[in-house]
A and B are shown apart, each in its own frame.
Chain A
């Protein structure tokens, strides 16, 4: 099955981002496809290369980057939401790209399921 994923909450503050990652990883390991993860609202903060969590904590941003590298997942950050929150090309982590909300609608059209993670 082809899953689109939407992440609506920020890293470390909210479980949604962890659950979305674990869902994506589990789906890929089961042989499903996850062509795109779309980040919206505070979810855009998942793409900040400036995060620097303590050594004994999970690195949420790097974890997404690795998922993109290993599985070719398209990590898309909403441009309008990103601009409000100070995410730019200059501090965008590896594997992410900034684009428009059309990418979310397109994921909804082309995926078999669009799964939304957030409050």
Chain B
């Protein structure tokens, strides 16, 4: 990234600072733009060499579901992008167990390897983060 900051107070060099960024995805992949635009932020964060993790909960677990066909709703199927995350060194993907159970899903239904966490475990993980952004 070679963007100028133009910032008022954010003018010190942030190079070398590594924070724990967690992106929490809570929305279905289609129907609203949150999942798609959220993914764009995740990809940009990779360019800043941060410690990035992603969480999928509530209807957000559907973002990772296999067999997405979007032709009939005239929007792009962006689910292959999740498989490309590994290439950006974004490999910490977590799904919420209750959200999966409620929707009758197992990890076999998902397009990428994930770690399944209970709500309590997820809470602990969130507590360890520096920055949590939810979509």
A interface residue numbers (CB < 8 A to B):
2, 6, 8, 33, 35-36, 40-41, 72-74, 76, 80-81, 97, 99-111, 114, 116, 119
Contacts and interface: CB of A to CB of B under 8 A. Distances in A.
A108 to B, nearest CB: 4
Contacts of A40: 37, 41
A108 B131 contact: yes
- Interface of A (DSSP majority class): mixed
Interface of B: 1, 3, 5-10, 12, 14, 17, 19, 21, 33-34, 37, 40-41, 44-45, 47-48, 50, 130-135
B12 A110 contact: yes
A114 B48 CA distance: 16
Nearest to B19: A109
B34 A35 contact: no
Contacts of B34: 41, 119
A74 B37 contact: no
A36 B7 contact: yes
A101 B133 CA distance: 13
Of all A-B residue pairs in the complex, the 8 with the closest CB atoms, nearest first, are A35-B9, A101-B44, A108-B131, A72-B8, A102-B1, A102-B3, A109-B14, A110-B10
20 contacts: A35-B7, A35-B10, A36-B9, A40-B41, A41-B33, A73-B8, A74-B6, A97-B6, A100-B3, A102-B44, A102-B47, A103-B5, A104-B41, A105-B44, A106-B5, A108-B50, A109-B50, A110-B17, A111-B10, A116-B133
A108 B6 contact: no
A6 B133 contact: yes
A117 B10 CA distance: 21
Nearest to B33: A41
Given A106-B5, A108-B19, A116-B134, A101 B41 contact: yes
Contacts of A103: 3, 5, 7
Given A36-B10, A100-B3, A109 B48 contact: yes
B58 to A, nearest CB: 12
Contacts of A119: 34
Given A102-B1, A110-B14, A116-B133, A33 B48 contact: no
